[in-house]
Amino acid sequence: MPADPAPLLSLRRDEHLFSRQPDLAGELAQVRRVLPLAPDQLLHPVVPAVYLVRRGRLRVTQLLADGREITRAVLQAGAGFETQADGDADPQRDTYPLADMILAALGETELWQVPAGSFDPD
């Protein structure tokens, strides 16, 4: 019997949305939820959603089965990630099982949570 699909986290580290699409900040301001994080605070993301680093930095690490912890990314302003209910984990595509991931603020950080699909082409 196949395992139940597990939620995934997909990194969008190279988006740099605010520099590529400066008007996007204004559009997202209408639908965003602000998530201020204190230094070293952990984020427990909801599924599905898209998260965008508005200010500060967010460290994304993965706990491996053998006990090692690997930093997958340090996201800065304009980069982000999305969560989805299911799919295939693929480190080559920066997609990982959400249950294995730790997201922690490096200093004061502000994230915007926007509805899933906010960056999909029309």
**Domain range annotation of the chain:** 8-114
Query: Does position 1 have pLDDT exceeding 60, yes or no?
Result: no
Q: Where are the beta strands (DSSP E) in 4-79?
A: 8-12, 33-37, 42-43, 49-63, 69-76
Q: How far is the C-alpha of 19 from the C-alpha of 7, rounded, in Å?
A: 30
Name the CATH code of domain 8-114 (choices 3.40.140.10, 3.90.79.10, 2.60.40.10, 2.60.120.10). Answer: 2.60.120.10
Query: Does position 13 have pLDDT exceeding 90, yes or no?
Result: no
Element of type H or E holding 17: helix 17-20
CA angle 93, 97, 99 (to 5 degrees): 155
Average pLDDT, the chain: 88
Q: How far is the C-alpha of 104 from the C-alpha of 93, rounded, in Å?
A: 21
